[in-house]
């Protein structure tokens, strides 16, 4: 059975490229000159970096789980497939947290209430993902 998963090497390459791109972008581009497109690029690079990092962690956990439980039944394989899809959605949702916090910080609204609101919104998103997927 062919599995359509991103390999660990590709995820590591994405992390390295996003980190290099973010480093270069933040050091070479003036935020006042970049405008809205520059802010969008910075947020996209941060999102890609966080997404790839969390995906790498999830993949390592999946590998350890497969090493600890090598016997695969049909039911367990189906359950793992659903958990894999659910974990991808949760990782995509969690990768938005730094963007939310950075956005709030940029307008001077990063207080305890705002962080609690972001945590509550993320909790609702994850609850929705768990219930629906």
Domain ranges of the chain: 8-132
Answer with the residue of higher pLDDT: 81 or 18: 18
- List all residues 6 or more positions away from 50 whose beta carbon is below 8 Å from its beta carbon: 94, 95, 97, 98
- Six-digit token string for 79: 């359950």
pLDDT surpasses 80 at 47: yes
Condensed to tens digits (0 to 9), the pLDDT of residues 95-121 reads 999 999 999 998 888 899 999 999 999
Give kind and range of the element (H or E) at residue 108: none
pLDDT of 27 higher than 60: yes
pLDDT per residue as tens digits for the range 72-87: 788 888 888 888 899 9
Phi, psi at 96, each rounded to 5°: -80, -15
> To 10 degrees, what angle do helices 97-106 and 31-68 make?
150
């Amino acid at each position: 059975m062919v599995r359509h998963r991103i390999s660990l090497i590709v995820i590591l390459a994405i992390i390295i490229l996003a980190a290099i791109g973010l480093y270069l972008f933040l050091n070479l581009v003036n935020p006042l000159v970049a405008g809205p497109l520059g802010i969008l690029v910075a947020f996209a690079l941060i999102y890609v970096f966080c997404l790839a990092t969390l995906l790498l962690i999830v993949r390592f956990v999946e590998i350890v789980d497969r090493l600890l439980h090598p016997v695969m039944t049909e039911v367990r394989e189906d359950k793992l497939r659903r958990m894999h899809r659910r974990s991808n959605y949760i990782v995509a949702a969690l990768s938005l947290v730094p963007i939310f916090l950075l956005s709030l910080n940029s307008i001077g609204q990063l207080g305890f209430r705002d962080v609690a609101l972001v945590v509550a919104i993320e909790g609702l998103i994850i609850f929705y993902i768990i219930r629906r997927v």
